Amino acid sequence: MSNSIEIPFSTTLMVRDTCLCLHVQRAARALARLFDDALRPAGLTNGQFSLMMSLNRPEPPPMGPVAALLAMDQTTLTAALKPLQRKGWVTVMENPRDRRGRLLCLTPEGKSVLAKALPIWKSTHAMIDDKLPDGSAERLRQDLQALS
Amino acid sequence: MSNSIEIPFSTTLMVRDTCLCLHVQRAARALARLFDDALRPAGLTNGQFSLMMSLNRPEPPPMGPVAALLAMDQTTLTAALKPLQRKGWVTVMENPRDRRGRLLCLTPEGKSVLAKALPIWKSTHAMIDDKLPDGSAERLRQDLQALS
DNA sequence: ACTAAATAGATTGATATCAATAGAAATGAT
DNA sequence: ATCATTTCTATTGATATCAATCTATTTAGT
């Protein structure tokens, strides 16, 4: 006569302990906070650092491949570019060879900001690398890649 | 006479290939999309599923420990509860033993929604588990935990 | 050339995320 | 008991995230 819709507490514990999605989201939030804190003096968030770093290429890339590289929705990329454009660190120009598309360029100021952030990234990354058992960083990257 | 603020392309490639923060953010976005898609028929996002599952306890927990469990900011938790309260799946009551605090409860409807989502979680999780090399899921969880 | 389909981005609306700040209640020192 | 400190949460403002939908442009089939 019960509703039969109660999930046992043991199931809850199992999901909490095993869910890879939850584990990754948790680590993502923690790492984002860590890098955001470290990069704050440089005026960048972790996401802005990754995005701007991915724009540091010989040829300015269109939006699609950048969004794919970062595994983010194209609309997210459009939104993420706005503050960087406002600050004058990134310019978005029409692609002359495909007028539907845009090309993303780091400005000299953007490159300068990125260069100032780089040593912060290095030291922060070295720090978390040390928190992992020896050699597991590479393995971790491979496992994460398999999920993307 | 140059500005000396150019980062070599090789450095960009190194950061892109090694940055654990970027790798985790990327996997987090990809997994979030995957679980969001799968759970959509149940009316839940991956985050809502994790949050509601963490509320399925014998005793309703206060907000602080739940936020810590999910490694999220307390203000994020406050915001995340809003839509769940609106839908009548979670209730937030004053803690009689500490009137600063709140206790978070799943409603019967919330439990029912969660129960319907559970088999979706199971099959989706089994799917991504298969994408990982044998036995690496447990290792991955441990590595991610070390970062949180 | 013409038209249908595919592709590249932009916009809107909802939720997620956190810093900074503020308020209320409990705790501790005296 | 009083007051300073700490703890727990909410609010505001900015950015991040994606689904749904739209426009503009290119490509492919005819």
Q: Which of A69, A108, A72, A67 is nearest to A87 (CA)?
A: A108
Name A45's Cβ contacts closer than 8 Å, sequence gap at least 6.
Answer: A32, A35, A36, A39
Does B141 contact A at CB distance below 8 Å?
yes
Which of A100-106's residues contact partners 24+ apart within 8 Å by CB, and which partners? Answer: A101/A62, A101/A63, A101/A64, A102/A62, A102/A63, A103/A60, A103/A61, A103/A62, A104/A55, A104/A60, A104/A61, A104/A62, A104/A63, A104/A66, A105/A55, A105/A60, A106/A52, A106/A55, A106/A56
What is this structure's pTM? Answer: 0.92
For residue B87, the 8-state DSSP code is: T
The Cβ of residue A111 has, within 10 Å, a number of other Cβ atoms equal to 19
- Summarised one tens digit per residue, pLDDT across range B102-142 is 999 999 999 999 999 999 999 999 999 998 988 889 999 99
Mean pLDDT of A105-112: 96
Q: Do A56 and B9 touch (CB under 8 A)?
A: yes
Which pLDDT does position A148 carry in this prediction? 83
Per-residue confidence band for A3, with pLDDT thresholds at 50, 70 and 90: low
Across the interface, of B112, B118, B131, the residue whose CB is closest to A147 is B131
How close, in Å, is residue A69 to chain B by CA atoms?
Answer: 9
| Residue A24 touches chain B, beta carbons under 8 Å | yes
B88: left (phi over 0), alpha (psi -120 to 50) or beta: left
Å: A104 CA to C18 C1': 27
Region A54-78: what's the mean pLDDT? 95
DSSP string, A46-58: HHHHHHHHHT-SS
User: How far in angstroms lies nucleotide C21's C1' from the CA of residue A4?
Assistant: 46
Residues 88-117 of A with CB under 8 A from B: 108, 111-112, 114-115
One-letter amino acid for residue B43 of the chain: G
B140, B17 contact by CB (below 8 A): no
The mean of the pLDDT values for chain A is 93
Query: Stretch A75-93: mean pLDDT, rounded?
Result: 96
Q: Are A121 and B19 in contact (CB under 8 A)?
A: yes
| Structural contact between residues A23 and B129, judged by C-beta atoms closer than 8 angstroms | no
A105 near A131, Cβ under 8 Å? no
Model pLDDT for residues B41-85, shown as the tens digit of each residue: 999 999 999 999 999 999 999 999 999 999 999 999 999 999 999
Q: Which nucleotides on chain D have any atom < 7 A from a protein Cβ?
A: 7-20, 24-27
Q: Is A133's pLDDT higher than 90?
A: no
pLDDT at B148: 82
pLDDT of the residue at A2: 44
Could you give the C-alpha distances from A27 to B22, B23, B80, B121, in angstroms and in order? 11, 11, 18, 20
Q: Which of B80, B88, B83 is nearest to B105 (CA)?
A: B88
Q: A81 CA, C7 C1': separation in Å?
A: 21
| Closest chain B residue to the Cα of A24, Cα to Cα | B28
* CB neighbours of residue A29 within 10 Å: 19
Predicted confidence (pLDDT) at residue B4 exceeds the cutoff of 70: no
Q: Which nucleotide is nearest to B74 (CA to C1')?
A: D9
Tokens of B68: 């810590």
Q: Which residues of B touch A56 (CB under 8 A)?
A: 7, 9, 12
Which tokens go with A110? 């953007």
Given a cut of 80, whether residue B32 has pLDDT beyond it is yes
Closest nucleotide to the alpha carbon of B99, via C1': C25
Using an 8 Å CB-CB cutoff, list chain A residues near B108.
3, 5
Give B-chain residues touching A121 at CB under 8 angstroms. 15, 19
Q: Is B143 at the interface with chain A, CB within 8 A?
A: yes
pLDDT (0 to 100) of residue A5: 74
Say how far apart CA A72 and CA A44 lie, in whole Å: 18
Residue in chain B nearest A58 by alpha carbon:
B9
* pLDDT confidence of residue B2: 44
Question: To 5 degrees, how large is the angle CA A33–CA A39–CA A43?
Answer: 115
pLDDT of residue A4: 59
pLDDT at residue number A6:
86
Which runs of consecutive H residues, i.e. helices, occur in B19-107?
20-39, 46-54, 63-69, 74-86
Q: Which amino acid is at A137?
A: A
Is A25 part of the contact surface with chain B (CB cutoff 8 Å)? Answer: yes
